[in-house]
């Protein structure tokens, strides 16, 4: 299932900046926004409630990782807040992921982080003591995520084909690291354009700075959306 709206990463430090950004969009333009740790820890649940009051869908990117009971209770709170999508670390285990599903319910989209893209294979092998390739570890976690009854994973666009092959076509792949053609990649290393991400089967793309830092964020968003849906 491909979501037609690119998910905008609201990587802002405070409520005022977020509000000023969202107010630039026409009222009838309902967005899909990603609220991460920085903004959530700065503002708390009011930023979720605010985005929902504007009619936007919210992906709360908090990457929960704790004992199953704690994760289940936290997820029940997020469900009450009306969060549309959220995530956990697959490393928390199948029991934790099942508990997350129970707490969050079946309505929203619940996905897992496999290996963070900032983790290198060498780091994984030495620090986590996992003696396999990074690609194998990602696939292992994706399969366990599916087994736990979650909807999908956050992954690099380059991993989508292998993950769908190992799980199923409708296993959700949400991919950050997207840059429209002609835009500086910045600190993102292996980027893809929205059109390429669509080609390889991403279900959701996450785009931050190319929209949030653009001189005209609305125009930048519409251009990316058009490329994603072309």
Q: Are the CB atoms for 66 and 121 separated by under 8 Å?
A: no
Contact between 207 and ligand C5P by CB under 6 A: the answer reads: yes
Q: Which is nearer to ligand C5P, 74 or 207 (CB)?
A: 207
Q: Are strands 204-207 and 172-175 parallel, antiparallel or unpaired?
A: parallel
Asked if residue 196 binds ligand C5P (CB under 6 A), the reply is no
Which string of b and e fits 12-28 if b means at least 16 CB within 10 Å? beeeeebeebbeebeee
Of 45 and 188, which CB lies nearer to ligand C5P in the complex structure? 188
Query: Between residues 63 and 140, which has the closer beta carbon with respect to ligand C5P?
Result: 63
To which H or E segment does residue 99 belong?
Answer: helix 94-104
Q: Which residues, numbered 17-56, are part of the site for ligand C5P (CB under 6 A)? A: 36
Q: Is 143 a catalytic residue?
A: no
**Within 13 A of 45's CA, how many CA atoms are on the CB side?**
8
Q: Is residue 6 at the binding interface for ligand C5P, with CB under 6 A as the rule?
A: no
**Annotated catalytic residue, options 19, 34, 52, 63:** 63
Cite the active site residues.
63
Site residues (vs ligand C5P, CB under 6 A)? 9, 11, 36, 117, 154, 176-177, 188, 206-209
């Amino acid at each position: 299932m491909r979501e037609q709206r690119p998910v905008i990463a609201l990587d802002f430090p405070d409520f005022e900046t977020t509000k000023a950004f969202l107010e630039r969009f026409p009222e009838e333009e309902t967005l899909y926004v990603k609220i991460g740790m920085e903004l959530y820890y700065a503002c708390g649940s009011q930023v979720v409630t605010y985005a929902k009051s504007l009619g936007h869908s919210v992906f709360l990117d908090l990457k929960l990782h704790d004992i199953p009971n704690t994760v289940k209770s936290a997820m029940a709170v997020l469900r009450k807040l009306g969060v549309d999508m959220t995530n956990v670390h697959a490393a928390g285990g199948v029991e934790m992921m099942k508990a997350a599903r129970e707490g969050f319910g079946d309505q929203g989209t619940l996905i897992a982080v496999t290996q963070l893209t900032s983790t290198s294979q060498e780091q994984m092998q030495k620090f986590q003591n996992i003696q396999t390739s990074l690609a194998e570890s990602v696939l292992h976690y994706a399969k366990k995520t599916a087994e736990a009854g979650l909807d999908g994973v956050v992954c690099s666009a380059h991993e989508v084909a292998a993950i769908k092959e190992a799980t199923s076509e409708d296993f959700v792949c949400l991919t950050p690291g997207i840059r429209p053609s002609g835009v500086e990649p910045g600190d993102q290393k292996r980027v893809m354009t929205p059109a390429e991400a669509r080609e390889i089967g991403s279900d959701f793309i996450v785009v931050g700075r190319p929209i949030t830092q653009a001189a005209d964020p609305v125009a930048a968003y519409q251009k990316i959306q058009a490329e994603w849906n072309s």
